[in-house]
Amino acid sequence: MKVCLKTQIYDIRTLLKSKVKNFVESSSTLHKKMDVLSEASTLLIKDITFFNKDYMVSLQDKVKGDALVFAKVEEFLTEIKTMLSSQSTISLESISQMVSNIKTNIKDALDTSSW
């Protein structure tokens, strides 16, 4: 009976050692995979952050450019309104002159603007 008990204890001890060894190996593998996942996530977040910064700068530049365009258009429309209101009668010749002035203003605005 004592020998049988020692054999059972040995078997249980061997089984426990095997299970602990498997657990340690699994834990180590899981830890390595988590390290890889953590590193990949960190790099992805850095890439996204840099992309967003570049995107935001580009977007802000676009907004500034659009604001300049709208300011020029508003100024241009005001000038047209002023030219039209100063005319008591509009002849074909004055319309041609206004169109010519409008073309010149648009060309000048496009040449001097940085949009």
Q: Which residues contact 90 (CB under 8 A, 6 or more apart)?
A: 84
- Running DSSP on this structure, what letter comes out for residue 89? S
Nearest to 86 by CA among 98, 74, 75, 76: 98
Give the mean pLDDT of the chain.
82
pLDDT at 3: 80
Domain boundaries, the chain: 2-112
Q: Which residue has the higher pLDDT, 94 or 23?
A: 23
Residue 98 to residue 81: CA distance in whole angstroms: 11
pLDDT one-digit tens code per residue, 30-59: 899 999 999 999 998 888 888 888 888 888
pTM for this predicted structure: 0.41
Nearest to 76 by CA among 38, 35, 46, 108: 108
pLDDT reading at 22 higher than 60:
yes
pLDDT reading at 100 higher than 60:
yes
pLDDT at 113: 58
Cβ-contact 56, 93 below 8 angstroms: no
Cβ-contact 71, 115 below 8 angstroms: no
Residue 89 to residue 78: CA distance in whole angstroms: 19
